[in-house]
Structure 1
Amino acid sequence: MSRQPGRRTLQDLASAAGLSLAATSYALRGLRGSPATIQRVRELADELGYTVDPIARALASGRTGWVGVSGSLRDLWQQDFSVLLTRALRREGRFATIADADADPELERRIVEQFAAQRVDGALVSPVDPTASYWQLLGDEVTVVSIGDALTARAGSGSVLFDNEFGVRAALAHLADLGHQRVGLLAPALPSTPGRPAQLLAPTIAGTLGIELVAISAPAATADAIDVVSSLLAARDRPTGVFCLSDSLAFAVYRAARDAGLRIPEDLSVIGYDDHQLAVLVEPGLTTMAWDEDAIVAAAVEQLESPGGAPLFRPELVVRGSTGVPHQSY
């Protein structure tokens, strides 16, 4: 079959395939139909020179097919999670435009403005500042789903929430049960807002467990956090354990401990908060809190179509070799 002059339409493709318009559209996007039908329709599209006009499709349907995905991508878990979101969207016939907020509220504001300008159909966001008013820049026609923390300033937004109180308590209780009385809390350097509960809940929970908590903030990226952790470990009254609110920060503790000549867990226990895929590759394996990522992704994508509710996900403590009984007291 040779290409014909002029722009080919979906009807041209459907006629050539002997299918309805709907069946042709689904097959072209790989959403429905047998593998043989999908392959045949795509081959016919190439032969005809048929290409989708995204502007025409958006005007006809009122939808662009694009979904904004935003998070702080220097965090290793956020990187992997963004990939999972884009794959889930692709299975639904949607496309992701990914933006890195880099733990910066001002940059996040500009990303929100860009999403609005691009007229995305929806947004899946792991917010830097969940209380910021700039989330209102995305109009009511845009379905916004916040992952981890609720957007308190944008009514009607979907939410997939994390049971941070359970996670923080489980992690600190594990250290307390091992005999740790002075523990460092390493948190990403993000805005302290009412929507950021893990960091705010930790001191109260530590007090109920008889733990003296030394809270410090560090850059979200592993390499940038090493100097901050090194200062904590160089103190004469350094903690015997460190609880990190991301695995990226926990990996920084590994490096800083090695540079200081400290052994994990003999001299320093370390616990993370993500169960990133590298947690089983470091030596010793990282004790951390694991989230059901597949279920979280499914819940977030589902809310793009059916907003409502705020499913709460509870992490599981995964004990590996990075935590143990403290051998020294200060």
Structure 2
Amino acid sequence: MTKTKHEKPPRRVTMTDVARLAGCSQATVSFVLNNATGVTISADTRGKVIEAARTLGYGASSLIHRPVLGSHGTIGFICDQLATTPESVNAIEGARQASWDEGATILVAQTMGNPEREEKAVEAMLRSGIEGLIYMTVFTRQVTPPAFLQGLPVPVVLLNCYAPDSGFPAVVPDEAAGGFAATETLIRLGHRRIATIVGEPFMEAAQDRLKGYKRALAKAGIAYDAGLVGEGNWSPTSGFEATQRFLALKDRPTAFFCQNDKMASGCYNALRDAGLKIPQDVSVIGYDDDELCRHLRPQLSTLILPHRAMGAWAVSELSKGRRFGRDAYPLTKMDCNLIERDSLAAPA
């Protein structure tokens, strides 16, 4: 009887094999396949590593078998602040509705803008198998995205913020267009003496809403008057005090554009204390569509911040399955639409 010769088992595929096929170092392969953070790896190199691992059957990484967004997957959503304003909640709700349509679930983390917390939150989300990440700031602004976002194995979109190099798709409200729409609405009613109470001037939202205000005046041939611009800080008290200063003018305004609804509520109180009726004597328009708009009397006309639509947009971008961080993407701006209630009328 002849002895059967046992065949040698096939050699196990190693990271070295993957590195050789991908044309990179073994360390790079390890970083990619183990979701290492804090290391910047180009999307091109990352794609080559994952493709090489697939080709060779190297199955150590869950990235290789990661499902496509929309097949009951998971989306990560990190925001610097959640509890202080309704904007982040609205954005999450918009993303939630869109993600359910896509068959996905959302994991949410608040980081308070702490870089270490951001990185740890994303690490935890990657371990949970997210297939896309939404990175949001509560105040609209330009940001320098954390370095670890560049090397993530999943697509990333920016919400309510944007990167200087346009390396990620980003969406923000069109604040300048909103300021223009609010002011033009008052002009169409026949107002020429329109005061505006702005927010803190270092914030882009305040700057852009003021730009829109100036543009609407210029379009209507109304001279810009710096004496009709009052500085607030988004609080009811600042709206109250600015309105009192305007009412002390010899030629007082017939309309107020308050650049958020809280300042508009302070404006209401100052007008009432002065014995003026809204809108019979003075028109008032706000911004944000805060819940308090519906509780003021008369109900406040305002512009809505489109954070819910922005959240849905972010999910839609992620569902395209593209890897971001290399190309330049146009900044998407969403309209702040007017909600007309009972605080507007033609000047008496």
1:100-179 correspondence runs (5 A): 110-119=113-122, 122-126=133-137, 128=139, 130-133=141-144, 135-137=145-147, 139-141=149-151, 144-148=156-160, 151-179=162-190
Sort the Cα spacing of 1:312 and 1:117 in 2 relative to 1 into closer, same or farther, 3 A: same
Q: Report the CA distance between 1:167 and its aligned residue.
A: 2.7
Deviations 1:49-106 (A, max 9, x none): xxxxxxxxxx95699964212358655x526525525744884322112356xxxxxx
Sort the Cα spacing of 1:237 and 1:282 in 2 relative to 1 into closer, same or farther, 3 A: same
1:298 aligns with 2:312: yes
Q: What amino acid is aligned across from residue 116 of structure 1 in structure 2? A: E
Equivalent pairs counted in the alignment come to 257
1:177-196 correspondence runs (5 A): 177-191=188-202
Q: What amino acid is aligned across from residue 157 of structure 2 in structure 1? A: V
**d(CA) in 2 for partners of 1:310, 1:248:** 29
**d(CA) in 1 for partners of 2:106, 2:234:** 29
User: TM-score w.r.t. structure 1 length?
Assistant: 0.63
1:315 aligns with 2:336: yes
Sort the Cα spacing of 1:112 and 1:244 in 2 relative to 1 into closer, same or farther, 3 A: farther
Larger radius of gyration: 2
**d(CA) in 1 for partners of 2:78, 2:310:** 17
Of the three residues 272, 275, 279, the one matched with 1:258 is: 272
Check the 8 A contact 2:177/2:212 in 1, yes or no.
no
Larger RCO: 1 or 2 (CA < 8 Å, sep 6+) = 2
Sort the Cα spacing of 1:304 and 1:249 in 2 relative to 1 into closer, same or farther, 3 A: farther
Percent identity at matched positions?
23
- Alignment partner, residue 276 of structure 1: 290
Check the 8 A contact 1:234/1:260 in 2, yes or no.
no
Sort the Cα spacing of 1:194 and 1:235 in 2 relative to 1 into closer, same or farther, 3 A: closer
1:98 aligns with 2:119: no
264-273 or 285-294: bigger deviation: 285-294
SS in 1 for 2:179: helix
Q: Report the CA distance between 1:272 and its aligned residue.
A: 1.7
Q: What amino acid is aligned across from residue 247 of structure 1 in structure 2? A: D
Q: Report the CA distance between 1:315 and its aligned residue.
A: 3.4
Instruction: Point out where structure 2 has 5 or more consecutive residues left out of the alignment.
Output: 1-60, 67-73, 126-132
**d(CA) in 2 for partners of 1:278, 1:189:** 21
Q: Report the CA distance between 1:319 and its aligned residue.
A: 2.2
Check the 8 A contact 2:95/2:308 in 1, yes or no.
no
Q: What amino acid is aligned across from residue 70 of structure 1 in structure 2? A: D
Q: What amino acid is aligned across from residue 254 of structure 2 in structure 1? A: T
Deviations 1:197-237 (A, max 9, x none): 33333223322223445223322344565444444444444
1:58-77 correspondence runs (5 A): 60=62, 66-70=76-80, 74-75=84-85, 77=86
77-86 or 240-249: bigger deviation: 77-86
Check the 8 A contact 1:271/1:323 in 2, yes or no.
yes
Instruction: Point out where structure 1 has 5 or more consecutive residues left out of the alignment.
Output: 1-58, 101-109
Q: What amino acid is aligned across from residue 119 of structure 1 in structure 2? A: V
User: TM-score w.r.t. structure 2 length?
Assistant: 0.60
Deviations 1:244-302 (A, max 9, x none): 23223322322332333332112321112233343233211212224555433210233
Sort the Cα spacing of 1:89 and 1:96 in 2 relative to 1 into closer, same or farther, 3 A: farther
